[in-house]
Amino acid sequence: MNAPHIPVMLDEVLEYLAPAASRPGAVYVDATLGAGGHSEAMLTAHPGLTVIGVDRDPNALELASKRLAGFGDRFIPARAVYDAIPEVLEDNGFDRLDAVLFDLGVSSMQLDQRERGFAYSQDAPLDMRMNPDDELTAEIVVNTYQPGELVRILREYGEEKFATRVVSAIVKAREKARITSSSELAELVKDAIPQAGKRTGGNPAKRTFQALRIEVNGELDTWERALPAALDVMAPGGRVVVLSYHSLEDRITKQELAKRATSTSPAGLPVDLPGTEPTFRLLTKKAQQPTQTELDRNPRAAPARLRAAERIAPSTGAGGAP
């Protein structure tokens, strides 16, 4: 692992979560613990805070737990996928959370572990599993999925304009021999994309590798379950921050937060009917992006889009904390 693991948009995350995390007895869930950088900053900033660090990757849990050992029982590691937050809370004796961060996508730590097969710039087995105990790997997807399904995955998850050409090259290659390495796949993709398509957007294999990673780890299906599950167990005045790195992740986030920030009363009524009031208020009118200063320090933050919202207190006419 060569690159530094710099928490993305850390100042913004701390600012948005501070009013909820600073409350007495507050519980914060770092739903995508990774290397533990965001959790370390939250624990340092809020001495009364309890942090539950969730990750499906046992390597991440082990490394982050060592990093955060000095905080004692204020840090609780939990091996789980982030759609299981209600169960994780219950298992640890909590019935609600005050703050939660979702930092979606693959972590820098996983990218830098060559053997995990996430990076198209390094030769490694075609793996891409965030949880090494899962059965599905990128190698299985590339070598066994029907061509039509591969095209759909590359178009939908990778937004690859040349999906048909890429899949045609994959199918032709796998008929001769099984595709087993990341460098072999990256070269196939590079050769399949026309020269004009290589002039912008970085490495031409980036979109294909992203699509395969999302498929292998079921990221979008999980995210569609995870965000509502976390919002449902949030205490009044609690806050959520989401960092997305893909337009589909951000779209799911935007739609779910907007739905909860909108009244369901029939139009034209002077007041909301009981039970139809918004349950959240948006803290970001549109997705925030990293500053240029951050991008200069951490280029990997470039795709990040941040959205935040706050749980509104039950209807007495008063909203949540400012």
Q: Is 110 annotated as a binding residue?
A: yes
Catalogue the E-assigned strands of the chain.
Answer: 27-30, 50-55, 75-79, 97-103, 234-244, 280-282, 305-311
Q: Is 55 annotated as a binding residue?
A: yes
For residue 194, give every residue at least 6 positions away whose Cβ sits within 8 Å of its Cβ, in sequence order, or none. Answer: 162, 165
Query: How far is the C-alpha of 95 from the C-alpha of 90, rounded, in Å?
Result: 6
String of DSSP letters for 61-94 = HHHHHHHTGGGGGGEEEEES-GGGHHHHHHHTT-
Q: Which amino acid is at 6?
A: I
Q: How many helices (H) and strands (E) does the chain have?
A: 13, 7
Q: Is 83 annotated as a binding residue?
A: no
Q: Is 34 annotated as a binding residue?
A: no
Please choose, from the candidates 35, 76, 14, 82, the residue with its C-alpha nearest in 3D space to the C-alpha of residue 220.
82
Question: Measured in whole angstroms, how far is the alpha carbon of residue 139 from the centre of its chain?
Answer: 23
97-103 β-sheet, strand order: 75-79, 50-55, 27-30, 97-103, 234-244, 305-311, 280-282
Query: How far is the C-alpha of 11 from the C-alpha of 26, rounded, in Å?
Result: 20
Q: What is the dihedral of CA 81, 56, 154, 8, to 10 degrees?
A: 100
Q: Is 36 annotated as a binding residue?
A: yes
Q: Is 38 annotated as a binding residue?
A: yes
Q: Which amino acid is at 141?
A: V
Bind-site residues for S-adenosyl-L-methionine = 36-38, 55, 82, 103, 110
Bind-site residues = 36-38, 55, 82, 103, 110
